[in-house]
Chains A and B, each alone.
Chain A
Amino acid sequence: MISDMLKPENIHITERVSNWKEAIHLSLEPLIKGGFVTDNYEKAILESTAEYGPYYVLAEDFALIHGRPTDGVIKKQLAITLLREPIQFSEDSFQVRVLIALAASDSNSHIDTMKVLSNIFMDESKVSEMVHAKKPQQIYDMLIQMENEIREN
């Protein structure tokens, strides 16, 4: 369940960041502080970005920032940062406002979370709803509601 992986206090709204590295750092901060990933996780993501480009930018306004379980994941967890001012991770990538930091402990056990997230990133109107959230709690409620809808179907 997404509620097992996301704490309401790990959803933040930030006005702006000065560059994409700061965006990565900010998005991972709750996971590092909460002891869900080690410091190395951030370093590994920066290294992977140098190798593959911003592989975590999935759609306009939506990035799923993640590394490998072996990069320093202690326990699976999510954190969400909403930027009021979008950031671009490379010249040819989308502008992004929703940063979802994911710590996955293996390739499959976060499937429930991915189901919920996929209902958002596949649907521009849902991404837009998230982008325009006024308070972090609204984002949390939106995700929980989506999970309940998935369960009912």
Chain B
Amino acid sequence: MLKILAVCGNGLGSSFACQMTTEAVLREMGVEAKMDHIDISSAAGMDADLIISGKNFEKQFERISLKCPAIFLERLVDKNEIREKLTPVLKDMGVI
């Protein structure tokens, strides 16, 4: 199953909130995925198919060589923005 990680600085507030919003979007899209949330310092070593994080973390991610695609959000809990950015990536991956 598709594995998606929501990432923020502490791995328990913003990323958890982002995870819940993304889960709601995925349900609406009919996409099955396993989601988790984690802090950015632990994200590098994690196995995931897709990473979702905030725009403010984009620079930090540049220092990590990611093995999977990542999307960066202006608003971590905006369902429209999440759907908009998630759709092309999921299409590229052949999920939808």
Q: Taking beta carbons and an 8 Å cutoff, which residues of A are in contact with B?
A: 48, 51-53, 55-56, 58-59, 62, 64, 66-69, 102, 104, 106-108, 110-111, 114-115, 117-118, 121-122
- For the complex, give the distance between the alpha carbons of A70 and B10 in Å: 10
Given A107-B16, A114-B16, A115-B20, A58 contacting B76 (CB threshold 8 A): yes
Query: B75 at the A/B interface (Cβ < 8 Å)?
Result: yes
Asked whether, in the complex, the Cβ of B20 is within 8 Å of the Cβ of A114, the reply is yes
Chain A residues whose C-beta falls within 8 Å of the C-beta of B13 in the assembled complex: 56, 64, 66, 102, 104
Q: Which single residue of chain B is at the shortest CB-CB distance from A48?
A: B9
- For the complex, give the distance between the alpha carbons of A122 and B24 in Å: 9
Chain A residues whose C-beta falls within 8 Å of the C-beta of B10 in the assembled complex: 48, 55, 66-68
**Which of B24, B56, B79 lies in contact with A55, CB distance below 8 A?**
B56
Given contacts A52-B56, A67-B10, A121-B17, 7 further A-B contacts (CB under 8 A): A52-B9, A56-B13, A64-B17, A102-B13, A117-B17, A118-B20, A121-B21
Chain B residues whose C-beta falls within 8 Å of the C-beta of A62 in the assembled complex: 77
Q: List 10 interface pairs A-B (beta carbons < 8 Å), by A numbering.
A: A56-B14, A59-B76, A64-B14, A66-B10, A66-B13, A106-B12, A111-B16, A118-B77, A121-B17, A122-B24
Asked whether, in the complex, the Cβ of A58 is within 8 Å of the Cβ of B12, the reply is no
A-B contact count (CB 8 A): 67
Asked whether, in the complex, the Cβ of B12 is within 8 Å of the Cβ of A53, the reply is no
Chain A residues whose C-beta falls within 8 Å of the C-beta of B54 in the assembled complex: 55
Q: Which single residue of chain B is at the shortest CB-CB distance from A124?
A: B78
Query: B8 at the A/B interface (Cβ < 8 Å)?
Result: yes
**Which of B17, B21, B57 lies in contact with A52, CB distance below 8 A?**
B57
CB distance from B13 to the nearest CB of A (A): 4
Chain A residues whose C-beta falls within 8 Å of the C-beta of B39 in the assembled complex: 68
Q: Which single residue of chain B is at the shortest CB-CB distance from A119?
A: B20
Q: Which single residue of chain B is at the shortest CB-CB distance from A67?
A: B10
Chain B residues whose C-beta falls within 8 Å of the C-beta of A66 in the assembled complex: 10, 12-13
- For the complex, give the distance between the alpha carbons of A121 and B16 in Å: 12
Asked whether, in the complex, the Cβ of B56 is within 8 Å of the Cβ of A58, the reply is no
